[in-house]
Amino acid sequence: MPSHNDIIEEAQRLIESGAWRSGSRLPAERDLCATFDVARNTLRKALEELEARGLIAREGARARRVSEPSPTTGDPLIARMALTSPVEVLEIRMILEPPVAALAAARASGHDLQQLEGLLQSSLAATTIAEFEVFDGQLHQAIFDAAKNTLLSEHCRALAQIRNQPKWQQLKQKSVTAPRRALYNRQHQAIVDALQRRDATDAEDRMREHLRAVRESMLPLL
């Protein structure tokens, strides 16, 4: 019987080939179960991850649609960045994100700090790796936004698009084990704590420590 990963791969193929057109509504769950010959819980696990990757979007209580292309899809910068290797992306993150965290500690508004706390709590409460990855990405983006530098924020969004591509998703699935996720949770907590104390030095150090852990978990898989 197909696994949820088999469904994800086939759904990606259907979207890339145009068989599932952008903006079109997906068949009902019972019809998809029949198409893929899987149980409802297996299908829902696959749909949840497809939503987390931004490939489909929920519409109402049950209906789902194939996501529309991002307006930045044709951006030449993103097109070039998409050709970079995961190692290069990890290097860029190590260079940029620690000092951005220091900026955020100095510049974040009260609303920014509340948002960061909310995203942290959502990531801690996530029940699946796919759900955790969604809030993880949103937390890092919120730190960039709190630094109050538009160019840096857009750069983070471009990196996020690259990290949502299939090769990155496969790396995440392999690298984010339960112990590793527990470590990331502790590190995220330390980063947000430093930001709330407006301790720029500690925020920078904690972010660098976190990204080193991410790099150490991914490099053996590359």
List, by residue range, all CATH 1.10.10.10 domains of the chain: 4-66
Closest CA to 11 of 45, 55, 44: 55
Instruction: Write the pLDDT tens digit of every residue in 139-148.
Output: 999 999 999 9
CA distance 41 to 27: 16
Closest CA to 164 of 47, 52, 4, 72: 52
CATH second-level architecture of 4-66? Orthogonal Bundle (1.10)
Q: What percent of the chain has pLDDT over 70?
A: 87
List, by residue range, all CATH 1.20.120.530 domains of the chain: 76-221
CATH 1.20.120.530 fits 76-221, yes or no: yes
Instruction: Write the pLDDT tens digit of every residue in 75-120.
Output: 555 555 555 677 888 899 999 999 999 999 999 999 999 999 999 9
Q: What is the pTM of this model?
A: 0.66
